[in-house]
Amino acid sequence: MSTRAIVVVLGKQGAGKGTQCKRLAQHLDIPHVSTGDILRAAVRDKTQVGLEVASILEAGQLVSDDLVNRLVKERFNEADAARGALLDGFPRTDVQAEALDEILGDDGVKICINLDVPNALVADRLSSRRVCQECGAIYTDSDIEAISGTCTNCGGDVVQRADDMPEAIIKRLEVYERDTAPLLSFYESRGLLVRVDGDQDPQEVTAEILEVLTERGIG
Ligand code: ADP
């Protein structure tokens, strides 16, 4: 079996995927691949892709499978992904899950973590979330970085994401239930799904995930 550590992190918006993947990437020394971060950087830099997807992101809709699949394929060609990756926000549809298998070839997905949180919690987490536009660091509205508007990590601007506004949050959670939740059964049927309680302190969640990965010989 290949030792490439491909870890898919699934969970609804606000489950803590970004926070956990950033922490896990440091522990495991593999890249955090977030399609949301890649798309937001394209929007910020006004690239051709960015101009194409800006209004879709803002409305909380999904961008096309073809486009995201292409971006992920390109990302996997970079040297740092040779040892593995933490996938956050991808796959998000059954078409993307199949594209991922094709992209990975023999190095299939090793495990899928379902970061589970009650619905009541996510709306609160999303509306108080603030992010750095430059490095993607995640804060809450009571953090000093959010109040001052400056990231202590990189000096970038800390803002509220356009899709963390109430209307877009409702839309995104609907899209999650319709398009992404079915992937839980996809990975469960392959014996790859492990549920982790996302309603705990971030350090506890990281520790639980690392334990699960160690048990499966990953990382
Ligand atoms: P969240 O999971 O909180 O919605 P993300 O940062 O993962 O946040 O994604 C933000 C937005 O980027 C999504 O609402 C969607 O418009 C777009 N996006 C990210 N990943 C994908 C994907 N795999 N397929 C389609 N659209 C995506």
Domain with 127 in it: what CATH number? 3.40.50.300
Active site residue 17: yes
Q: 0.85 exceeded by the pTM?
A: yes
Looking at ligand 1, which residue's alpha carbon is closest to its atom 1? 13
Q: Of 12, 17, 22, 125, which residue is the catalytic one?
A: 17
Phi-psi region of 132 (alpha: psi -120 to 50; beta: other; left: phi over 0): beta
The answer to whether 151 touches 132, Cβ cutoff 8 Å, is yes
Tell me how far apart the alpha carbons of residues 22 and 4 are, in angstroms, rounded to a whole number: 18
Range of the domain at 32: 5-215
CB of 54 sitting under 6 A from ligand 1:
no
Active site residue 92: yes
User: In this structure, how many other beta carbons lie within 10 angstroms of the beta carbon of residue 102?
Assistant: 9
Query: How many domains, in total, are found in the chain?
Result: 1
Along the 219 residues of the chain, how does pLDDT read in single tens digits? 468 999 999 999 999 999 999 999 999 999 999 999 999 999 999 999 999 999 999 999 999 999 999 999 999 999 999 999 999 999 999 999 999 999 999 889 999 999 999 988 998 999 999 999 999 999 999 999 999 999 999 999 999 998 999 888 999 999 999 999 999 999 999 999 999 999 999 999 999 999 999 999 997
